[in-house]
């Protein structure tokens, strides 16, 4: 398996011009291979791809594209060696579809495994793992249930921590709030959450745990899988101390339309001009197999898309995940409006 890191913008145009020729000369894609373009850090998916090759004999040639995935595939055009396109965040995945660089596929395995609300209505994209947006709560607080709406309660004044409102994880959550409660109510909610912040909306999700340990805040909103990483870190490390300072509570929406927890996803689409479409579908189907889903759950601490998969003990301790049944595509319709509300209320200021 070969991993290639996307070049910096200064060299990107030169690389695009010669990419297809270079791939052919180096044997990067053959009839027995599948080429994966991914915005995910390679080390996060390498164990899954290695197992796929071991089980099937199909080599995976992987190109890590941190930025500009759509532009790259468009520039390569019909000669693009890309077979499968993988991203995190539903918005990024739908952007691929809207850019016209994906194609629908037919797979009984995928359709039988992945719930309808977690795949494209025309089979142009599929979720592969779940990333639930949860509450980090100071471990000594007597709080074992929350709604997302509750973060606007004045009782949390000066006690909430969160990363930038413009981060895709948060714009997706805000978009879900719009889908459930409407734009006007969501704007009021966002203003009140801002009023409850213990520090500027910034940093990353693990910084929420860090700042709970530091007494800057009592609760925060972040992704659950980071807690798996922190609580499984070596004892005595900063990450382990942060993880040990918190507990996870899975919030739900107060809306009658859903009593579930908001999730984002990692997912993939088959490229429009995939030269190895059959192998791309095989890789997708492998990624929802019991073996691959177990790796998602126990190596990355993400929640598996498939039921019945044994979870990492830390993740299992969070209790059952009841997913918001609202289709992700419906939530994603409100992404732009969510971003505009973040700026309108000055959430990051």
Cβ-proximal residues to 4 (8 Å cutoff; 6+ apart), any chain: 62, 63, 64
Residues 219 and 331 grouped into a single domain: yes
- If asked whether residues 112 and 177 sit together in one domain, one would say no
Is 22 within a domain? yes
Same domain, 181 and 328: yes
Quick: pLDDT tens for 137-169. Answer: 999 999 999 999 999 999 999 999 999 999 999
Cα dihedral 148→152→153→157 (10° resolution): 130
Do both 88 and 179 map to the same domain? no
**C-alpha span between 82 and 106 (Å, rounded):** 19
Query: Taking Cα atoms as reference points, which of 58, 83, 126 lies closest to residue 328?
Result: 126
Residues 154 and 164 in one domain: yes
CA-to-CA dists, residue 310 to 136, 190, 195, 302, angstroms: 23, 36, 40, 12
Task: Report CA torsion sign: 300, 303, 309, 310.
Answer: positive
Range of the domain at 195: 131-260+319-344
What DSSP string runs through 238-271?
A: HHHHHHHTEEEE--B--STT--SB-EEEEEEEEE
**CB neighbourhood size of 320 (10 A):** 7
Q: Is 126 annotated in some ligand binding site? A: no
Domain total of the chain: 2
In a domain, 334, yes or no: yes
Relative to beta strand 33-38, strand 102-103 is unpaired
Shared domain check, 256 and 290 = no
| Domain presence at residue 298 | yes
By residue count, the chain amounts to 349
Q: Is residue 117 part of a domain?
A: yes
In a domain, 116, yes or no: yes
- Residues 231-243: tens digit of each pLDDT: 999 999 999 999 9
- Sign, CA dihedral 265-207-318-229, equals positive
pTM of the model: 0.85
Any idea what the CATH number is for the domain that residue 286 is in? 3.40.190.10
Angle between helices 290-299 and 277-287 (to 10 degrees): 60
pLDDT by position in tens, the chain (length 349)? 444 444 444 434 433 444 433 343 334 444 449 999 999 877 778 889 999 999 999 999 999 998 999 999 999 999 999 999 999 889 899 999 999 999 999 999 999 999 888 899 889 999 999 999 999 999 999 999 999 999 999 999 999 999 999 999 999 999 999 999 999 999 999 999 999 999 999 999 999 999 999 999 999 999 999 999 999 999 999 999 999 999 999 999 997 767 899 999 999 999 999 999 999 999 999 999 999 999 889 888 999 999 899 999 999 999 999 999 888 888 999 999 999 999 999 999 9
> Based on the domain organization, do 330 and 208 belong to the same domain?
yes
Q: Is the domain of 111 the same as that of 54?
A: yes
Q: Looking at the structure, tell me whether residues 210 and 163 fall in a common domain.
A: yes
Please answer whether residues 125 and 93 qualify as being in contact, where contact means their C-beta atoms are separated by less than 8 angstroms: yes
pLDDT value of position 14 = 38
Q: Any binding-site annotation on 296?
A: no
Instruction: Judge if 138 and 237 occupy the same domain.
Output: yes
Rg (C-alpha) for the chain, rounded Å, is 21
pLDDT at 7: 46
178 and 324 share a domain? yes
Residue for token pair 């609202």: 326
Cβ(265)–Cβ(117) under 8 Å? no
Asked, for residue 349, whether it belongs to a domain, the answer is: no
Please provide the DSSP assignment of 43-93 as one string: HHHHHHHHHHHHHH--EEEEEE-SS-HHHHHHHHGGG----EEEEESHHHH
Does residue 200 lie in a domain region?
A: yes
Residue with tokens 């009593």: 259
| Cβ pair 274, 84 in contact under 8 A | yes
């Amino acid at each position: 398996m070969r991993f290639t890191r996307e070049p910096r913008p200064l060299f990107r145009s030169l690389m695009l011009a010669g990419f297809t020729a270079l791939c052919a000369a180096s044997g990067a894609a053959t009839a027995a291979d599948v080429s994966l373009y991914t915005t995910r850090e390679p080390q996060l998916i390498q164990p899954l791809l290695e197992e796929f090759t071991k089980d099937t004999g199909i080599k995976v040639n992987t190109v890590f594209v941190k930025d500009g995935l759509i532009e790259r595939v468009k520039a390569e055009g019909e000669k693009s060696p890309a077979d499968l396109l993988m991203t995190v965040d539903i918005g990024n995945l739908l952007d691929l579809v809207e850019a016209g660089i994906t194609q629908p596929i037919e797979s009984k395995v995928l359709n039988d495994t992945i719930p309808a609300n977690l795949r494209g209505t025309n089979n142009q994209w599929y979720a592969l793992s779940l990333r639930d947006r949860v509450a980090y709560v100071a471990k000594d607080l007597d709080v074992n249930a929350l709604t997302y709406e509750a973060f606007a309660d004045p009782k949390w004044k000066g006690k909430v921590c969160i990363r930038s409102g413009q981060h895709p994880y948060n714009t997706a959550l805000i978009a879900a709030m719009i889908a459930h409660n409407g734009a006007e109510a969501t704007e009021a909610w966002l203003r009140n959450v801002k009023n409850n912040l213990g520090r500027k909306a910034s940093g990353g999700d693990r910084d929420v745990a860090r700042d709970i340990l530091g007494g800057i805040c009592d609760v925060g909103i972040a992704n659950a899988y980071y807690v798996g990483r922190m609580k499984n870190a070596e004892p005595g490390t900063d990450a382990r101390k942060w993880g040990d300072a918190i507990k996870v509570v899975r919030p739900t929406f107060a809306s009658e339309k859903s009593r579930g927890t908001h999730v984002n996803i990692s997912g993939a689409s088959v490229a429009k001009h995939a030269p190895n479409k059959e192998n791309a579908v095989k890789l997708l189907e492998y990624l929802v197999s019991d073996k691959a889903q177990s790796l998602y759950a126990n190596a990355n601490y993400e929640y598996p898309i498939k039921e019945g998969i044994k979870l990492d003990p830390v993740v299992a301790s969070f209790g059952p995940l009841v997913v918001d049944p609202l289709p992700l595509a419906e939530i994603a319709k409100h992404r732009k409006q969510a971003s505009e509300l973040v700026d309108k209320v000055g959430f990051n200021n």
